[in-house]
């Protein structure tokens, strides 16, 4: 049976612009539809689906949309009902969905409602005669390739795997899909989020800045300079918008009663027992570059490190460039240059 592909997309907080993750999945859908000569449909969930569809100009896909103020906020009942209606309207066999928190929350329920299967955290879609998807298990050490014959099959695609589709051309026509979510039981009364600037984990940033335990160790003058370290790191993050990662040793230190950087938590930890972020560039500072840490850098394309130790793990082939230097001095100079540039 020929495949019919639906890409489910959603708007960001403006309600009228598709998220970056959505446009990446549109790119994946277009590529897959071309490979399997399949029909491509794009479903939009937005306050204003017509406005959101502007970025899909030239995609060549059939566009379906659900619109309304009710989609201004993520809410299980309305989002699941919208996705179900879009899946039914498209009669799709393959449904590609961004692995955003909004979609991940409803996707399994939608799979159940449409009698389909679901796989999450997909990092590639391959195959020519059968669709093969891959995902990582066991802290990114085992890559599994999955095929399934039952349809529909919902696939949640990780962000940063595909480029974003850059639409251009005349406005596209959106076919309205009607659903009744007039009286949702859940009312969203607001959002509580960390104050702007205090959130240091930024998955969409181009650069990852990793702080290692060296920042809080005794320096050549025999003293610990934890507060200066904190200022240098936060200054760099503020000027560049980079995301902050950490080694395990540094985030564990609080529990060991050693000097800590107060803005770091275990959520910042990168590595085998931490996260495996996806940024184009990475800069490790005061970090030794041991294998359990560097395994978390699997998806970082360009790696640089600053360490006093010319024999550290980074210098043994784990980084593209290693600066054997004092990170306090280097980062102070970098921040100074960034300030003068601004
Ligand atoms: C089962 C297991 C799982 C683990 N999982 C993880 C994980 O998920 N993530 C992780 O990070 N680790 C993990 N580890 C720990 C890992 O093996 C290392 O112990 C840890 O990464 C070391 O952290 P570090 O490099 O920051 O500290 P250190 O090894 O103490 O290195 C500090 C570095 O800073 C340098 N330095 C000091 N001062 C300066 C300065 N002024 N300028 C420049 N450089 C300076 C030193 O030369 C040194 O190289 C795991 C270990 C095990 C056994």
The pLDDT tens digits for 68-122 are 999 999 999 999 999 999 999 999 999 999 999 999 999 999 999 999 999 999 9
Q: What is the per-residue pLDDT across 221-259, written as a single tens digit (0 to 9) for each?
A: 999 999 999 999 999 999 999 999 999 999 998 777 777
Q: How many CB atoms sit inside 10 A of residue 193's CB?
A: 8
DSSP 158: P
Q: How many residues are recorded in the chain?
A: 342
- Decide if 310 contacts 328 (C-beta within 8 A): no
Choose one of 290, 310, 328 to mutate for the ligand 1 pocket test, by most ligand atoms within 8 angstroms of C-beta.
Answer: 290
Q: Name the band, by pLDDT with cuts 50, 70 and 90, for residue 194.
A: low
Percentage of the chain with pLDDT > 70?
A: 98
Which atom of ligand 1 lies nearest, measured to the CA of 330?
42
251-290 tens-digit pLDDT = 998 777 777 898 999 999 999 999 999 899 999 999 999 9
- DSSP three-state, residue 302: strand
Identify the residue whose C-alpha is closest to ligand 1 atom 43: 307
Q: What is the rounded CA–CA span in Å between residue 44 and residue 21?
A: 13
Nearest CA owner, ligand 1 atom 50: 292
Q: Assess contact for 74 and 104: CB atoms under 8 A.
A: no
290 lines ligand 1 (CB under 6 A): yes
CB of 288 within 6 A of ligand 1: the answer is yes
- Measured in whole angstroms, how far is the alpha carbon of residue 305 from the centre of its chain? 23
Please give the distance, rounded to the nearest whole angstrom, from the Cα atom of residue 213 to the centre of ligand 1.
6
| Distances in whole angstroms, Cα of residue 25 to Cα of each of 43, 107, 236 | 11, 15, 32
The pTM for the full model equals 0.73
């Amino acid at each position: 049976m020929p495949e019919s592909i639906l890409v489910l997309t959603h708007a960001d907080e403006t309600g009228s612009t598709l998220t970056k993750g959505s446009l990446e999945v549109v790119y994946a859908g277009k590529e897959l539809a071309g490979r399997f000569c399949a029909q491509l449909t794009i479903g939009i969930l937005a306050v204003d689906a017509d406005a959101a569809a502007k970025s899909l100009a030239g995609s060549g896909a059939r566009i379906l949309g659900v619109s309304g103020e009710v989609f201004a906020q993520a809410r299980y009942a309305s989002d699941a009902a919208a996705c179900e209606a879009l899946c039914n309207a498209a009669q799709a066999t393959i449904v590609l969905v961004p692995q955003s928190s909004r979609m991940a929350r409803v996707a399994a329920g939608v799979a159940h409602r449409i009698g389909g299967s679901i796989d999450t955290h997909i990092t590639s879609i391959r195959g020519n005669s059968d669709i093969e998807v891959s995902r990582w298990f066991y802290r990114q050490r085992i890559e599994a390739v999955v095929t399934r014959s039952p349809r529909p099959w919902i696939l949640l695609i990780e962000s940063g795997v595909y480029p974003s589709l850059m639409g251009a051309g005349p406005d596209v026509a959106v076919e309205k899909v009607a659903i009744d979510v007039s009286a949702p039981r859940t009312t969203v009364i607001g959002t509580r989020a960390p104050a702007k600037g205090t959130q240091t984990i930024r998955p969409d940033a181009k650069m990852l800045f990793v702080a290692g335990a060296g920042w809080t160790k005794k320096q050549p003058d025999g003293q610990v300079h934890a507060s200066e370290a904190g200022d240098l790191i936060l200054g760099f993050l503020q000027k560049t918008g980079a995301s902050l990662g950490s080694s395990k040793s540094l985030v564990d230190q609080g529990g060991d009663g050693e000097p800590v950087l107060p803005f770091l938590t275990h959520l910042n930890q990168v590595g085998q027992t931490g996260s495996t972020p996806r940024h184009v560039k990475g800069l490790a500072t005061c970090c030794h570059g041991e294998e359990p840490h560097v395994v978390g850098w699997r998806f970082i394309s360009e790696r640089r490190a600053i360490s006093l130790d010319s024999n550290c793990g980074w210098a043994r082939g784990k980084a593209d460039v290693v600066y054997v230097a004092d990170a306090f001095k280097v980062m102070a100079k970098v921040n100074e240059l960034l300030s003068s540039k601004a």
